[in-house]
A and B are shown apart, each in its own frame.
Chain A
């Protein structure tokens, strides 16, 4: 019991202390860019829990879920295909690395014209940014598989699809997870970015509005919201990762990674 309390104390002393320092440092409101923490929490509660939950927070999350889901599917499936078909990687590689390096705002104008202002455009922007790390990590994961393992599987006359789902995918799973985690980060970022242009709602829209109208406490509230969202989603992801890897670890055909 004491051990658990101690572990908890170690984890929270720093965040709590920082929070306290921040609270007192800004209490007087003497820094324009750093409004009093209490005000920020007030605005946070007003904007994100009551006022705008259904009109802004929820739609954003929907875009995020859709975009990430599609990116994950495309990334993993595409990565598995590319890694197993010899010339595919060489052909796709320049595009993957190029689009990865493009600044997102450069893609926005084209997206607006081609895809409009709604769910399609926002989801597409998320997909176009988040798919690359997932793709690359999947390819890397497959590449990194033990050669003997693959040979053995082939020698055992295991069918192609069976090999893919029961040998290759589980083997590459840890690396794929890394890519999926990275993709999640990027999805959150692009969710915000895609809502900063041509939007009428969403977290990105709120951030932009706060900035253009100099509502600084609202701005901070938005930043905190994004931090919380990322924290929660990452925690969820960790749980999911453990479940998936545990299951696959059990199903893998021998060999240590």
Chain B
């Protein structure tokens, strides 16, 4: 209730400021114009087609990151030697922002979906890897010993002992990675190329339709927001049995 009220207040404030003429009219369209542009976009096919491309890149990139990060994280987290060995590499690569990799990705793959996948996967990899590693650290030694006593194979041990223990962290990591991946997809499209919402923003700029650009940015923000919200609910729902401190990021 309060949340909705505050949003309405914010939007109205924007409307007033934009309409007052103190800001340049073309660069700062009023909320009503942006809303109108937004409705116009949603009603036409090109938007949904672009959204499809964005979603495709996002989903595939996230999948690639997951397939690499979760097994790697489980292994690294549960094994002291692996953890110590990979620490320097991870600490060095982790802070390299995706924007720095972007030119390289462009050079390697051009403005194709492969370029986007490289960037999205790279960006989503780290939060997921780090969270999974952290979660795999604290496995109950009794359970681990029992599994070893029963001669469970290494992959089985990872899957049945380490993974459930690390589950809340993995879930948080997935959520962070998913939202991060979405932002990266749009940024890659906006700055580098490839079909999707980002490209649409670029084109509406070139067509002097700035209200469209704002509307698209707003929609992108909303999508990211919803993604986070939905994943949070799912997380809480599926892990209600697991009581542990979780890391928000």
Binding site for B on A (CB under 8 A): 7, 10-15, 18, 32-33, 87, 90-95, 97-106, 109-110, 113, 133, 136-137, 140, 144, 175, 178-179, 182, 185, 188-189, 192-193, 196, 204, 207, 210-211, 214, 216, 219-220, 222-223, 226-231, 233-235
Contact = CB atoms under 8 A, between A and B. Distances in A.
Interface of B: 1-7, 10, 24, 27-28, 81, 84-89, 91-104, 106-108, 179, 182-183, 186-187, 190-191, 198, 201, 217, 220-225, 227-229, 245, 247-249
Contacts of B2: 87, 90-91
A205 B86 CA distance: 31
B248 A140 contact: yes
A15 B92 contact: yes
Given A101-B224, A103-B183, A103-B190, 15 more contacts: A90-B6, A91-B2, A91-B5, A94-B3, A94-B7, A110-B27, A133-B249, A210-B103, A211-B103, A223-B104, A226-B100, A227-B95, A227-B96, A230-B95, A231-B91
A101 B183 contact: yes
Given A207-B99, A230-B95, A7 B224 contact: no
Contacts of B101: 223
15 contacts: A10-B81, A15-B88, A103-B183, A103-B190, A103-B198, A109-B27, A113-B28, A133-B248, A136-B248, A137-B249, A185-B95, A193-B97, A219-B104, A228-B92, A230-B94
A188 B97 contact: yes
Contacts of A144: 245
Contact of B225 (A97, A229, A230): A97
Contact of B96 (A13, A102, A230): A230
Contacts, number: 158
A98 B222 contact: yes
Interface of B is mostly: helix
Nearest to A88: B2
A10 B84 contact: yes
B217 A193 contact: no
A206 to B, nearest CB: 11
B36 to A, nearest CB: 19
A145 B88 CA distance: 34
A99 B27 contact: no
B92 A103 contact: no
A245 to B, nearest CB: 15
B207 to A, nearest CB: 15
Nearest to B220: A103
Contacts of B201: 106
A91 B27 CA distance: 28
A245 B42 CA distance: 50
B89 A226 contact: no
A83 B87 CA distance: 35
A192 B99 contact: yes
A220 to B, nearest CB: 8
B220 A233 contact: no
A228 B95 CA distance: 9
Given A103-B217, A136-B248, A234-B91, A223 B186 contact: no
Contacts of A97: 225, 228-229
A18 to B, nearest CB: 7
Given A91-B6, A98-B225, A226-B96, A178 B191 contact: no
B94 A11 contact: no
Contacts of B6: 90-92, 94-95
